[in-house]
Amino acid sequence: MERVSAPDGGGVNGEKVGGGGLSVDLVLCQIQSAHVTIGAWEVIWRQGRNSVSPIVTAQYFSWLETQHGGSPASACEIIITCIHTDLVPRSVRRSGRWLKGGVLATIAVFFLMPCLQKQLPALIQHFVYSHRIRVPLFVDLSRPADLSLNHTINTYLTSEEGISLGVWHTVPDRRWKEAQGKDLEWYQNTFKDGSPVFIYLHGNTGSSCMCQQVLSALGYHVLVPDYRGFGDSTGEPTEAGLTTDALYLYNWVKARSGNSLVIIWGHSLGTGVATNTAVKLIERGEKFDGVMLEGAFNTAREPIQAHPFSWYYWKYPGIGYFFQEPWAENKVVFPTEENLKKMRSPILFLHSEDDHLAPIQSVQQMYEVAVSAQNAERVKLVSFDGSLGYLHNGLYRDPHLPDIVQNFVLSL
């Protein structure tokens, strides 16, 4: 049987067709009055497009059609028919699939995630607290010595029924040798030495205090609780629950520290917990001796926008018309700015100008609110130049931090 090959140079830029020619046996069998049928052309198109470009295949069609008595016009008609019968080059079809997939993915993220947030409170809980992410990783939190905190003890306190809080207590640096091998009773008795006591309330994803060594070196006691659901504490976090935990620890410390200063240091999420707790104390006629707010935010809404599945509530406000913000429904507020209007304790704001989660403009606004509620002598703001690169979590590295903290304590 005759086998027809494309003429030399029939390809584009010398490209051969089909590596030696396409089989047209079926074509020859279907010749009717020296005219190739559409069915035959479809076979050739399928063979050609799997090995060479569509342009080369089209050139081959033109040559073959004219060889069998047809015209270039009829060849073009056949090629167009092939295209319209879903024989489009794969590269075009592949691009179309990617485009279609991208559109569907955008729709899914834009509409499905708000629905999930609205229907699944656990998602909101994780976005706010990120308590399942434990930092530092792969550390036994019951053994603080593994983190070089060799004058620290881990204990567990019950803030309410069914809730066990893991708490680290670090004694002043000067007592580190004396602390070796001591039990919980010895650590609790050290509160009576008159040294100031810091309660450090960490942010989300946290379970430890990077400032412990700084504060201990200054001669202070440091207590770092893991809120419920964080670290090795039991339960699940809620705004009311975190406030209850902080208030319980404050009462526990005051019952053992006599007249020693008790200062609360909140970082990020911890600033909301600290100010909530301060308001609870005011309601019963008490107040903190001092409050330090590092990386503070106005409300829970501010840091949540850093999460990838909630940014569209602020970038595209119109979507709130269809999907109401779920934070309020899940009772996530942390109204720091509103709390500052009620607080009467001395306050020290610490903030990095390059903070990527809580803008410096926000803390400046909160500073003004706090000053108007008290006076400029009782409220201080220390900002750190953005060129230092501290961002949201790095202020503990600043060499001036010990002096700043010590001066604040001495002013109380």
- Residue 214 C-beta-side C-alpha neighbours within 13 Å: 18
- CB of 291 within 8 A of CB of 266? yes
Looking at residue 7, the DSSP 8-state letter turns out to be P
Phi, psi (degrees; rounded to nearest 5) at 237? -75, 140
Q: Is 355 a catalytic residue?
A: yes
Helix (H) or strand (E) holding 99: helix 90-107
- CB of 136 within 8 A of CB of 208? yes
Active-site choice (151, 245, 260, 355): 355
Rounded distance, CA 35 to CA 359, Å? 76
Looking at residue 291, the DSSP 8-state letter turns out to be E
What are 294's strand-pairing partners?
A: 267, 350
Active-site choice (268, 345, 352, 362): 268
What are 379's strand-pairing partners?
A: 347
Rounded distance, CA 395 to CA 123, Å? 30
Q: Is 268 a catalytic residue?
A: yes
Ramachandran region of residue 142, left (φ > 0), alpha (ψ -120 to 50) or beta?
alpha
CA distances from 132 to 129, 330, 339 (A): 8, 18, 28
Q: Is 169 a catalytic residue?
A: no
CA distances from 253 to 142, 199, 223, 293 (A): 20, 9, 9, 20
Based on its alpha-carbon atoms, the radius of gyration of the chain, rounded to whole angstroms, reads 36
Rounded distance, CA 170 to CA 199, Å? 11
Residue 48: name the closest of 63, 32, 69 by CA: 63
Rounded distance, CA 142 to CA 167, Å? 9
Residues with catalytic roles: 268, 355, 392
